[in-house]
Amino acid sequence: MGEHIEIMGKDIYFWNFIVLMFFTLFEVAAVFYDVIPGTEIEVTKLMVWAILIVVGIIKGFGIAAFFMHLKDDPRIYTRTALFPVLFVILMLWGIGLSNPAGVTELPSWCTPNWDYAETR
Amino acid sequence: MSGGHGAHVENGIWMRAVMMGGILLTIGVLLFATLGVFMANEKHHVWEELEDEYHHMEVEVALDGIITDKEAADLDHLHHEEIAAHLSYLTYRVAGITILLMSITYAAFIGVGGLLNSSKPAAEHGDGHDEHEHHGSSSPIIFAFGIMLFLAGFPDFVIACKAMLNADLTPDFGMLALSMVGLLTIVIAVSNWWFEDLPFNGHGEQIATSYPFEGEHIRKAGLWVFIMSEIMVFATFFSSYLRMRTEWCTKWAIEDGVEACQGVEPVVTASDLIRNDFATILPGAINTFALIISSYTIVLALKTAKNAKWEPSTGIMGKIMPTRKAAIRNYLIATLALGSLFIVLKLVEWSHLVAEGFDIGTTQGSIFYIATGAHGLHVFIGLLVMLYLVFKADTVGYDEDNAQGIEYFGLYWHFVDLAWVVIFPAFYLY
């Protein structure tokens, strides 16, 4: 089990916690600063997107693999967790292919009676 | 009662749940009085003074007819100070009210559950010694039925609540009654669920006998299937947001020179109002840290429960957690406190956004509040369950045999953390 692995006298959960905290700080800083502190390197939007996606994957893996024990549990649990991800990918793909009017041009009766629906 | 082995539970033990409810309510009232009344009133005075000063200066400038650069700068500075004072007032008022409402809900939930169970005949309690004891329960079905009744009447329940504040609306008290019956059914089902679980000492866990979960605990498999469905729920929010977000002419899209957005008024998203200022990004960032720390504290609670050779540490930690039972309980209390902090900061942040004009009446507001609100609701439901875990840890106790309760709840709690890992960058930073 994961708890038996120790690095510098601390178990894997502790290090996972530290990694999660560090990457949270990193992603907040990546968005907060326009220029990397101490340099003149501009933090572009492409960099921000890449950082948010990569950090999200690392943090998601850390939580699922270690805190949720998927790394040590039988594979059926990992498959169960990943099964809906297939649908999520399909959904995102469908969204990418869909027409913008599919969302912004919905008739008023399809939307709650909010101000934007009445004034559109 | 010793940890999990002496599983006969006296009725009187449930009165500790009532006492726990009383303690939570007292803490809530004290915090409300301090933050929501005393501090908020102080902040309100400061805000009123600055508001008067600002309007006074505005009138003076208007009467002069000419505005110098210095006057314009002073006016602008004063306006920012007034806004900051308003937000500061909102922080204390909303935090105080949220803490009060949460403590009332906590006290009602654990207190009513404890009261119902303490009044049951003693003979109904299982002794938990039977290795073949069947631990299937009808409580989840009753619970689901209660939720169905509650939700059936919910839209009119909301209207009835609004009608109590606004005479122009006509409430449907029939549907309100249906919701109330649903709520009562939920409370009865949950308290019965606790009643069945409290003496559970880890023996008699049902094992799946067929593919694909053969040999696994049924409750754990069921929880993972539940998490699977939850992933889909959050995926719909996330994909709807991405779909709309990629089409909006946001400040970023305009700066990037997207052709369709040239000359168009930018669409303001929540992240536009949050990400570039330390004060606005702080609540979301603290919430992210709070959830990660709470994930770790529940792991520590489980690890301690499973460690039969646990020994207290030296120093201050040893004083806070002198026994294994106290350590598990205190880790769970820390998790509860961090989760509660999350809800308080979430509502404070919402109040700031609404004050800045970002309300639910726009597409970007609607998806933001629905997605983050659904996540907040999951956190809050988790906190209600955690109240019971704290109660069990404090009374019967958890050990290496019956730690499944913490483990399975931990899976749900980690999932809530996982969902936030996606929601936070998407809705707050992107």
List pLDDT tens digits, range B105-134: 999 988 888 888 888 776 555 544 454 455
Do both A1 and A24 map to the same domain? yes
- Which tokens go with B286? 């603290």
Overall average pLDDT of the B199-212 stretch: 81
Please name the residues in contact with B353: beta carbons below 8 A apart, sequence gap of 6 or more. B270, B273, B274, B359
Residue A11, H or E segment = strand A10-11
Cis bond upstream, residue B140 (ω within 30): no
**B404-423 and B218-245 are packed helices; what angle lies between their axes, rounded to 10 degrees?**
10
Q: Please, what's the largest Cα pairwise distance for chain A?
A: 63
Higher pLDDT, B132 or B177: B177
For the segment B320-347, what is each residue's pLDDT rounded down to a tens digit?
Answer: 888 999 999 999 999 999 999 999 999 9
Residue type, B227: I
pLDDT at res. B271: 86
Over 50: is that where the pLDDT of B3 sits?
Answer: no
Over 60: is that where the pLDDT of A111 sits?
Answer: no
Please tell me the distance from the alpha carbon of residue B285 to that of residue A88, in angstroms, as a whole number.
Answer: 26
CB–CB of B245/B268 below 8 Å?
no
- A106: domain range? 85-120
Highest mean pLDDT: which of A43-57, B50-64, B174-188, B221-235?
B221-235
Q: Considering only alpha carbons, which residue of chain B is nearest residue A112?
A: B361
- Which tokens go with B37? 């009344």
Nearest by CB: A76 against B213, B239, B411:
B213
Residue B126, H or E segment = none
Q: What SS3 state is found at B120?
A: coil
- From chain B, the residues in CB contact with A114 under 8 A are 360-362, 366
- Which tokens go with B422? 């996606």
- Which tokens go with B296? 């770790």
pLDDT at res. A62: 93
**Rounded to a whole number, what is the distance in Å from the CA of A110 to chain B's nearest CA?**
13
Do both A99 and A68 map to the same domain? no
Asked if residue A115 belongs to a domain, the reply is yes
What value does the CA radius of gyration of chain B take, rounded to a whole number of Å?
26
Report which DSSP code applies to B202: S
Asked if residue A79 belongs to a domain, the reply is no
Do both A66 and A90 map to the same domain? no
**Rounded to a whole number, what is the distance in Å from the CA of B31 to chain A's nearest CA?**
29
The mean of the pLDDT values for chain A is 79
Q: Please, what's the largest Cα pairwise distance for chain B?
A: 89
User: Partners of B217 in the beta sheet?
Assistant: B207
Do both A60 and A9 map to the same domain? yes
**Rounded to a whole number, what is the distance in Å from the CA of B283 to chain A's nearest CA?**
12
Asked if residue A67 belongs to a domain, the reply is yes
Higher pLDDT, B303 or B162: B303
Lowest mean pLDDT among A4-8, A40-44, B185-189, B354-358: A4-8
Test A100 with B247 for CB contact under 8 angstroms: yes
Substitution target from A80, A83, A113 for chain B, most B beta carbons within 10 A: A80
pLDDT at res. A84: 87
The mean of the pLDDT values for chain B is 86
Do both A4 and A35 map to the same domain? yes
pLDDT at res. B381: 92
Do both A40 and A94 map to the same domain? no
Asked if residue A80 belongs to a domain, the reply is no
Over 90: is that where the pLDDT of A92 sits?
Answer: no
Do both A94 and A63 map to the same domain? no
Do both A24 and A55 map to the same domain? yes
Length of chain B: 430
Asked if residue A19 belongs to a domain, the reply is yes
Test A95 with B362 for CB contact under 8 angstroms: no
Do both A57 and A10 map to the same domain? yes
Over 70: is that where the pLDDT of A119 sits?
Answer: no
Q: What SS3 state is found at A7?
A: strand
Long-range contacts at B332-337 (CB < 8 A, ≥ 24 apart): B332/B297, B332/B298, B332/B301, B332/B386, B332/B389, B332/B390, B332/B393, B332/B406, B333/B390, B334/B294, B334/B297, B335/B294, B335/B297, B335/B298, B335/B301, B335/B386, B335/B413, B336/B383, B336/B386, B336/B387, B336/B390
Please, which residues 205-224 of chain B have a Cβ atom closer than 8 Å to chain A?
Answer: 212-213, 216, 220-221, 224
Please tell me the distance from the alpha carbon of residue B345 to that of residue B94, in angstroms, as a whole number.
Answer: 9
Q: What SS3 state is found at B382?
A: helix
**Rounded to a whole number, what is the distance in Å from the CA of B140 to chain A's nearest CA?**
22
CB–CB of B419/B26 below 8 Å?
no
Residue B20 Cα to chain centre, angstroms: 19
Do both A55 and A12 map to the same domain? yes
Q: A107 burial class (0-12, 13-18, 19+ CB within 10 angstroms)?
A: exposed
For the segment B227-276, what is each residue's pLDDT rounded down to a tens digit?
Answer: 999 998 998 888 888 878 877 888 887 877 777 778 888 888 888 888 87
Asked if residue A78 belongs to a domain, the reply is no
Do both A65 and A106 map to the same domain? no
* Torsion angle of the four alpha carbons B149, B370, B243, A20, in this order, in degrees rounded to the nearest 10: -110
Residue A77 — pLDDT band, cuts 50, 70, 90?
very high
- Which tokens go with A72? 């040590």
Lowest mean pLDDT among A32-46, B340-354, B357-371: A32-46
Q: How much is the ipTM here?
A: 0.81
Highest mean pLDDT: which of A36-45, B22-31, B68-77?
B22-31
Residue type, B31: L
Do both A39 and A64 map to the same domain? yes
CB–CB of B12/B115 below 8 Å?
no
Count residue pairs from A and B with Cβ separation < 8 A: 125
Please name the residues in contact with B379: beta carbons below 8 A apart, sequence gap of 6 or more. B291, B339, B342, B343, B416
- As for how many domains chain A has, the answer is 2
Please tell me the distance from the alpha carbon of residue B346 to that of residue B335, in angstroms, as a whole number.
Answer: 17
**Rounded to a whole number, what is the distance in Å from the CA of B422 to chain A's nearest CA?**
6
Overall average pLDDT of the B25-42 stretch: 94
Lowest mean pLDDT among B4-8, B161-165, B226-230, B275-279: B4-8
- Which tokens go with A19? 């990694």
Higher pLDDT, B334 or B183: B334
Residue A98 — pLDDT band, cuts 50, 70, 90?
low
For the segment B382-417, what is each residue's pLDDT rounded down to a tens digit?
Answer: 999 999 999 999 988 898 888 888 999 999 999 999
Identify the CA nearest to B313 among candidates B301, B321, B305. Answer: B321
Identify the CA nearest to B269 among candidates B192, B368, B341. Answer: B368
Substitution target from A5, A44, A68, A120 for chain B, most B beta carbons within 10 A: A68
A83 close to B (CB below 8 A): yes
pLDDT at res. B123: 54
Please, which residues 105-164 of chain B have a Cβ atom closer than 8 Å to chain A?
Answer: none
CB–CB of B425/A27 below 8 Å?
yes
